[in-house]
Every structure is written in structure tokens, then in C-alpha cells.
Amino acid sequence: MRGHRVLPFSTASEILNDVWSSVDGVDWIRETENALWSPRHEYSVYVFAGKLWVVAGNARPLKNDIWTLEIKGLSFLTQPVVEDFAGTEYIYRARADFNASGRSIRYRLVEAPDWLKVDAATGVVRGTPPVPGKYQVVLEASDEANELARQEYELHIIKLGS
């Protein structure tokens, strides 16, 4: 979901655990609707010692937890779609980021069925599976500074109407 949202943060009336990201602070992308931490509002976020810290906030029931995130270089920010239907278009919008070089990222399929392709510039993986089956997929993201992230998954294609 891509959209314009001025502040992607919860309000006092919303108890959420979604995660949003933005490259420019104008266009925001919801990365996940249900993060690992409990839903909350009015939390604080800090950067300290090379990590992102999510602290406090009001949750129901009250919690006394602290979450940290340390991203060491190029990493996939998205999780693949792992189940779809034969005869319909499969689409996975892969996205990697946090490369130290800040250079543009290129994507490639290292292993995939013949019907599956990736757009090297955008990371969009798509194709139309002709028959049900299990397929191994290995996707790589890299930049000109030789940073590399790898994502491996098994894609389950099922019969339409199953």
C-alpha cells in the first residue's frame, strides 16, 4: 500500500503495531500491519548506539517492554508472498534497503521457475504459474559497492478453487 500520509503515527484513539517507512518523508509505505511488539500508542523512538529503540507507549494491558532494531547493511524489508494460485499472476514487490553505500540496488533471481521474472531496478517479482507445485525461489539484492542481501523461500502454487 503506497500513499500520502503526513504522520504515519498512531493517535490517542488508535492502538496499533504497524510499521511505516519513507524515503522522502512525504510518501509512506506500510511495511507491516502487525509487527512483533504489542499494539500501542504514544510511544517514543530513539536512535542510540547504532540502533533504533522503541520505548514505552500505552498498551492494553500495560507492558514494560523495550524493542531495538539493528540493521547491519543491505537487508530485505519485505516478506515474500509464499502461496498463490495456478493460472493467476503472482506478484511480490520485494524491497531491500539500508546499504551503507546508499547506491542504487539491483535485484536478480538466482533460482526460480522459468515462468517467474524480476525487474532488476524495482524488485517486482512476477509471473503466471501454469500448474500447481512447490517452487524454490532465491532472490538477491546488491549494489555497486558489492553489498548483498539474499532471500530464499518456497513458493506454493495451488489449484484455483482449492
What stretches of the chain adopt beta strand conformation (E)?
A: 2-4, 19-22, 27-32, 40-41, 44-48, 51-55, 58-59, 66-69, 75-76, 83-85, 90-93, 96-97, 106-111, 117-118, 124-127, 133-142, 148-158
As a whole-number percent, the residues of the chain with pLDDT over 70 amount to 88
Question: Whole-prediction pTM value?
Answer: 0.62
Q: Catalogue all structural domains in the chain, each as residue range(s) with its CATH number.
A: 2-69 (no CATH), 75-158 (2.60.40.10)
Residue 2 in this model has a pLDDT that exceeds 60: no
Residue 100 in this model has a pLDDT that exceeds 90: no
For 21-56, the pLDDT digits (tens) are: 766 667 788 888 888 777 877 778 877 776 778 887
